[in-house]
Structure 1
Amino acid sequence: MDFTSFDIHDPVIQKLLLSLGAIIITYLIGFGIIRFINSKIEDFKRRHQARRITYYSSFFIILIFIFLIWLERPSTLTTYLGFLSAGLALALHQVWLNIAGWALILLRRPFGLGDRIEWNQVQGDVIDIRVFYTTLLEVGNWVEADQSTGRLVHIPNSTIFNIPVFNYTRGFGCIWNEIRFLVSFESDWKRAKKIVLETGYEQSEEEIEARAKKRIYEMSKNYMIKYGKFTPITYVDIKGSGVQITLRYLTSVRKRRVLENNISESILEKFSQEPNIELAYPTSRVYRRSEEGRHIENKE
């Protein structure tokens, strides 16, 4: 490469140097602000949000500086922006959709950092919201009861426009869960139902029920929503192998497995002390017509 022709007074060279200087200075200032944030803000969520704001601000400041540096004349701004917008709209269609999705997420707040959501067939906790994609810490999948798999999933923000987002954390702040027990037809199912319901009341958290009632009242101001019962309730159904008893109760999103474990252990322990209650399971029976069937005489 021939460096002899390098002219510091060349307008293009000057603009390149100014652009590089703007990027370096903005980066150093942003880096210093982030270090200050990390040392002064102890709350994890607030610290992360402050870092994101610094990152986005630095990014847009650099864009503005570069745009002003390379703009020849202010009078050409409208024409320049028109051609630039048309070209970018065609070439970077998906990129602009991601940016628009990011803006929608920040303005409308369908979810925020720390929320547990299901989006694009992925369930997880929101750990980062960036310009082009949102990052989830996956839960569920091959791991039962909504516990973490340890995988990070990056979902393009553009999908916010055409794919539903299910938010487990907003609204109630808790979810309904159900546990099913199957007892044999010969069991005292009424006694079993009573045990299941009593255990549900023993293990349920009154604080969750009170919070759910308050949130529903607040939501009813903006949505046509109504719930009449927040305490545990049981349902009975007849299945092929026995009588199914279902316990329905409220639980915190992240305590579902723990509470389900506690309720199940308690009910199994109580069932073991009841001589008239047996858990049912699928069985097979061999039928011999010659031994059990009725004898039909052939009359001619």
Structure 2
Amino acid sequence: MWEDFIKYLGEAIDTSGNPAEKILYTALLLGIIFFIRHFAYKAAGLVFSNEKIRRRVSRIAVLAITIGAALGIILLWFNALNSLFIIAVILAVILLFSMRELIVKVFSFFYIRTVKPFTAGDRIEIAGAYGDVEEISLFKITLIEVRGWLHTATPTGRLIHIPNRSIFNGSYANESNAFPYVWRDLEVPITHQSNLEKAFAILQAAGKRELDLLVAKDHAQKERLESQAEFFNSNLLPQVTMWVDGNGVCLTLRYLTRNTEMAASETRLWKYIYHRFAGTADIDYSPAALAVQFPQAQPHSQAQPNFPAE
């Protein structure tokens, strides 16, 4: 296509007239463009004192002179009919180039609506933003921001507007579409002298309690949960691992929760673990951790507080 157009330009050149004069006029027009580009800003400053108006006028002057000089060069080297065709082609190319963003956005909208990588209500991560999809419009995706500057995965109160073409510019993750659950890690630091077996048992019981609550809420999805867990090379049962450093022993509880209840589940687990540790004499927190103070009336009670599910 481009080869044909270049061939057409070679055949459409107007050979009449003095070539030296055409070259001279062409050099003169190019010189005018060069002069205007370098001195338009200073010239506008002589008339306008406002910086914004000064820059705007200089840009408009450069654009107008450049377009006029380009048209003059085309009319100089080609006859009228060929010049009109070449100008039309150049304008069409400029129009397509300026509208490429619009074309990509519209195509992205129909792609999202047709393929449905995510829909309204899904929790996704895209273009560095994380949140719940509020709306998918012709040009943008609106997210209810989650987490943001907050430590917990809760809405920040902001709406984030992302160009829908971002789906083609990088990776994205949908936490709601196929598997609306995530694995979370809860790190509990204790001293070297603590009873590890008891600490392991308390964390496993806390994770099992959270899993039972999850299955009780979504009992019909238990088989689906198990199959999806196998797909992610994991299982539903909570796992406890440990690592040791100079400050003590860090136990890590890995548990499954809904992606929309991460903050609530973490709060329930911490409450359960704190109260169980408070009733166990041979488990102490690492010196690097801050302990929670409980009322004196129940310093070593084994009874579990009746925390709400949410």
Indicate whether the TM-score tops 0.5. yes
Q: Which string of whole-angstrom CA distances, capped at 9 and with x for unpartnered residues, describes residues 85-108 of structure 1? A: 756422211111111111111111
Query: What is the CA–CA distance in structure 1 between the aligned matches of 2:173 and 2:225, rounded to whole Å?
Result: 17
The one of 213, 233, 237 aligned to 1:227: 233
Change (3 A) 1:278 1:200: same
The one of 176, 186, 194 aligned to 2:201: 194
Contact map agreement 1:172 1:216 (CA 8 A) in 2? no
2:106 aligned with 1:99 = yes
2:215 aligned with 1:206 = yes
How far did residue 123 of structure 1 move?
0.6
2:270 aligned with 1:264 = yes
In structure 2, what residue type is equivalent to 1:145? T
Change (3 A) 1:258 1:200: same
Contact map agreement 1:209 1:250 (CA 8 A) in 2? no
Change (3 A) 1:255 1:218: closer
Query: What is the CA–CA distance in structure 2 between the aligned matches of 1:212 and 1:107, rounded to whole Å?
Result: 30
1:280 aligned partner: 286
1:292 aligned partner: none
Query: What is the CA–CA distance in structure 2 between the aligned matches of 1:100 and 1:84, rounded to whole Å?
Result: 23
In structure 1, what residue type is equivalent to 2:155? S
1:241 aligned partner: 247
Question: Looking at CA atoms only, which structure, 1 or 2, has the larger radius of gyration?
Answer: 2
List runs of 5+ in structure 2 lacking aligned partners: 1-88, 290-310
Contact map agreement 1:102 1:157 (CA 8 A) in 2? yes
Contact map agreement 1:175 1:253 (CA 8 A) in 2? yes
In structure 2, what residue type is equivalent to 1:230? L
Aligned pairs for 1:5-24 within 5 A? none
Aligned pairs for 1:121-270 within 5 A? 121-204=128-211, 205-207=214-216, 211=221, 213-214=223-224, 217=227, 225-270=231-276
How far did residue 228 of structure 1 move?
4.6
Query: What is the CA–CA distance in structure 2 between the aligned matches of 1:165 and 1:197, rounded to whole Å?
Result: 33
In structure 2, what residue type is equivalent to 1:101? S
Q: Which string of whole-angstrom CA distances, capped at 9 and with x for unpartnered residues, describes residues 26-70 of structure 1? A: xxxxxxxxxxxxxxxxxxxxxxxxxxxxxxxxxxxxxxxxxxxxx
| Secondary structure, aligned partner of 2:260 | helix
Q: Which string of whole-angstrom CA distances, capped at 9 and with x for unpartnered residues, describes residues 203-259 of structure 1? A: 222245873641564799xxxx35351111111111331111111111111111111
List runs of 5+ in structure 1 lacking aligned partners: 1-81, 284-300
2:32 aligned partner: none
Change (3 A) 1:218 1:231: closer
CA RMSD of aligned residues (A): 2.5
Contact map agreement 2:206 2:273 (CA 8 A) in 1? yes
Q: Which string of whole-angstrom CA distances, capped at 9 and with x for unpartnered residues, describes residues 152-173 of structure 1? A: 1110011111221111112212
In structure 1, what residue type is equivalent to 2:135? D
Contact map agreement 2:141 2:161 (CA 8 A) in 1? yes
Q: Which string of whole-angstrom CA distances, capped at 9 and with x for unpartnered residues, describes residues 98-136 of structure 1? A: 111111111111110000111111111100101111100
Contact map agreement 1:212 1:230 (CA 8 A) in 2? no
How far did residue 270 of structure 1 move?
0.5
Change (3 A) 1:132 1:219: farther
Query: What is the CA–CA distance in structure 1 between the aligned matches of 2:99 and 2:246, rounded to whole Å?
Result: 58
Query: What is the CA–CA distance in structure 1 between the aligned matches of 2:288 and 2:228, rounded to whole Å?
Result: 46
Paired-residue identity, %: 27
In structure 2, what residue type is equivalent to 1:112? T
Change (3 A) 1:269 1:240: same
Change (3 A) 1:147 1:199: same
